[in-house]
Chains A and B, each alone.
Chain A
Amino acid sequence: MPDYFRALMIAVIFCILFLLAIVVVTAYAERKVAAFIQDRLGPTEAGPHGMLQALLDVIKLLQKEDIIPAAADKKLFAYAPIVMFAAVLAGFAVIPVTPSVIASGAYLGVFYLLAIISLDVIGLLMAGWGSNNKYAVLGAMRSVGQIVSYEIPAGLAILCVVMICQSLDLQEISFQQGILMRQFSGLEQETNYLFGLKALNLDVTTIGGITTWNIIRMPFLFIAFIIYFISSLAECNRAPFDIPEAESELVAGFHVEYSGFRFAALFLAEYSMMVLVSLVAVILFLGSWNTPLPNIGPVTLANWTTGTVGTWSSNLWAAFWLLAKTMLLLYTQIWIRWTYPRLRVDQLMHLCWKVFTPITLVLVLLCGLWRLWMI
């Protein structure tokens, strides 16, 4: 077995375990946050404060009988959860975890990610069509329509970042947003100015922290971030855009016929998708694995909370910041879900085509201009 293959397998297994852990935590958090928002207690029985609830739910699902409806298209039905999860899992390959840890430092990381996230749609259609159930088909069609539509504002928002950073490499985009920028080969001569404006002549390359995050480098990217975040909610079928899964009208949408292990896989894919889009939002807009604390004169907070590249402390700091920011976004996703009611289909499409798409198009233009002022 070649070495790179072995390394790949280790990375995949590590990634799946990490995903399982984070999905279990998110599922538990979802129930607890929902309960607290609604003045309830949530799970309390399994383990201290019900912490084992999500884990035990997974174990229960794995023990269940594997049911495939008699009239279902057995192959499509059986492979759909695998296709969906595989598509999401593949997306994690290009996610930089720390300055020195990244499964695949692909040159076209952003492009690859957009393509991979779209693959999810195939799994959805397979599940919906294969179930041979009218609710499942309706849910799948709605879901596909929604995801494909929302890829446009999301893609344009990401394009804004790509234009500002002049790179499709997620690791390079990460380096650009912090004090380590000049340590990335090819960026040695670059300088970060406050708000990206060279005319202001405020060099923040060594100040780092929040001042070099993309949403500060180009303040209008904050709008792009909001649009990307809302679009990503629609892409992973989260409330208030959970029309495909609308419990009250479609029972559960495309996964109405699924149970046991296959449902667990769909559930895993869905929550992994949440994690993935949050990670992408953090990497592109919120400074990736960079610390939010800037160097202020002799108080070099940014240096202290970053470490030297390649050392353990640096890796731990970077992973901590990345995950902390991702958790914050995940919390926001849950928070939004338990605050807003579901949109109607026409409202959803109105928001996408008549609001977000024009705004992002203007933003792309603005980013082009801004880039000219940055150099």
Chain B
Amino acid sequence: MKEYISNKYNNSFFSVVGALLTGMKLTIQHFLRANKRREPTYVSDPNYFKQPEGLVTLTYPYESIPVPEVGRYRLHNEIDDCIVCDLCAKICPVNCIEIESIKATEDIGITSDGTKKRLHAAVFNIDLAKCCYCGLCTTVCPTDCLTMTKVYDFPETDIKNMIYHFTDLSPEQAQEKRQKLDQQQAELAEAKAAALRAREEATKNKGIT
């Protein structure tokens, strides 16, 4: 063991002192360069990879390295453009999107790309605590209303607040739409039944005459 150590290292007094002094020199150099600091520059900045010395810490809440516009962080759904097609909920690998749709009884307009909207979103919840930020939902979205934003700092003290509600209907409004739909369905069924009855009546009458 002893021979191994003495073979591997030069243990002479002066080499040891030299090594110790080299260490001291190294640390004092870092200390003396403490007046330089890393700049919170964007990755495309020519200086991004050219800051080899100085302090590397950023005082985070006050300064941070900018993230790209297309950063894959918090999800956002532009509900006005959403046709509630449920594709995002189907593709989600962790089932963090919950959608409940109501068929619209009247014309509810078109999205900004011209698609006709036919469904109300009674519930459109994304649980970002479950989300794995894979971005699959944004790729399947036919109207590009579901996007990932560059916001990554959104901690909450209560995990319930990690569920984001994107619907533009209040529960009462949703209830009202549901009732309207039920009413319409009932009316339709009524009308259908009436039509059926009328047809039966007609065939009967035809038979008599």
Chain A nearest CB: distance from B52 CB in Å?
10
Known: A36-B31, A37-B30. A336 touches B59 (CB 8 A): no
Q: Does A75 contact B (CB under 8 A)?
A: no
Per-residue contact bits, chain A 36-57, to B (CB 8 Å; 1 contact, 0 not):
1111110010000000000000
A41 pairs with B30, CB closer than 8 A: no
List of B residues within 8 angstroms of A340 by Cβ:
20, 23
Determine the distance from Cα of A193 to Cα of B132 in the docked complex, in whole angstroms: 79
Q: Does B56 contact A (CB under 8 A)?
A: yes
For chain B, which range describes its interface: under 10, 10 to 19, 20 to 34, or 35 or more residues?
10 to 19
Chain B nearest CB: distance from A222 CB in Å?
14
Determine the distance from Cα of A36 to Cα of B34 in the docked complex, in whole angstroms: 6
List of B residues within 8 angstroms of A263 by Cβ:
none
B57 pairs with A339, CB closer than 8 A: no
A41 pairs with B57, CB closer than 8 A: yes
A44 pairs with B59, CB closer than 8 A: yes
Q: Does A338 contact B (CB under 8 A)?
A: yes
Q: Does B157 contact A (CB under 8 A)?
A: no
B50-89 residues at the A interface, CB under 8 angstroms: 54-57, 59
Determine the distance from Cα of A100 to Cα of B183 in the docked complex, in whole angstroms: 103
Known: A36-B34, A340-B20. A335 touches B57 (CB 8 A): no
Q: Does A33 contact B (CB under 8 A)?
A: yes
Give the interface SS of chain B, mostly helix, strand, loop or mixed.
helix
Chain B nearest CB: distance from A26 CB in Å?
16
Q: A39-B55, A339-B23, A340-B23 are in contact. List 18 more A-B contacts (CB 8 A).
A: A33-B31, A36-B30, A36-B55, A37-B27, A37-B30, A37-B31, A38-B30, A39-B30, A39-B34, A39-B54, A39-B56, A40-B56, A41-B55, A41-B59, A44-B59, A335-B24, A339-B26, A339-B27
Determine the distance from Cα of A36 to Cα of B30 in the docked complex, in whole angstroms: 7
List of A residues within 8 angstroms of B59 by Cβ:
41, 44
Determine the distance from Cα of A39 to Cα of B51 in the docked complex, in whole angstroms: 12
Per-residue contact bits, chain B 11-27, to A (CB 8 Å; 1 contact, 0 not):
00000000010011011
B-contacting residues of A (Cβ < 8 Å)? 33, 35-41, 44, 335-336, 338-340
Q: Does B28 contact A (CB under 8 A)?
A: yes
List of A residues within 8 angstroms of B27 by Cβ:
37, 335, 338-339
List of B residues within 8 angstroms of A338 by Cβ:
27
User: Which residue of the partner chain A has the closest CB to B62?
Assistant: A44
List of B residues within 8 angstroms of A41 by Cβ:
55, 57, 59
Determine the distance from Cα of A40 to Cα of B37 in the docked complex, in whole angstroms: 9
Determine the distance from Cα of A36 to Cα of B36 in the docked complex, in whole angstroms: 10
Determine the distance from Cα of A248 to Cα of B162 in the docked complex, in whole angstroms: 38
Determine the distance from Cα of A72 to Cα of B59 in the docked complex, in whole angstroms: 43
Interface CB pairs A-B, < 8 A, 22 = A33-B31, A35-B55, A36-B31, A37-B30, A37-B31, A39-B34, A39-B54, A39-B55, A39-B56, A39-B57, A40-B55, A40-B56, A41-B55, A41-B57, A41-B59, A335-B28, A335-B31, A336-B24, A339-B23, A339-B24, A339-B27, A340-B20
Chain B nearest CB: distance from A37 CB in Å?
5
User: Which residue of the partner chain B has the closest CB to A38?
Assistant: B30
Chain A nearest CB: distance from B178 CB in Å?
52
Chain B nearest CB: distance from A108 CB in Å?
36
Name the residue in B26, B31, B56, B57 with the highest tally of chain A Cβ atoms < 10 Å from its Cβ.
Answer: B31
List of B residues within 8 angstroms of A339 by Cβ:
23-24, 26-27
List of B residues within 8 angstroms of A33 by Cβ:
31
B57 pairs with A40, CB closer than 8 A: yes
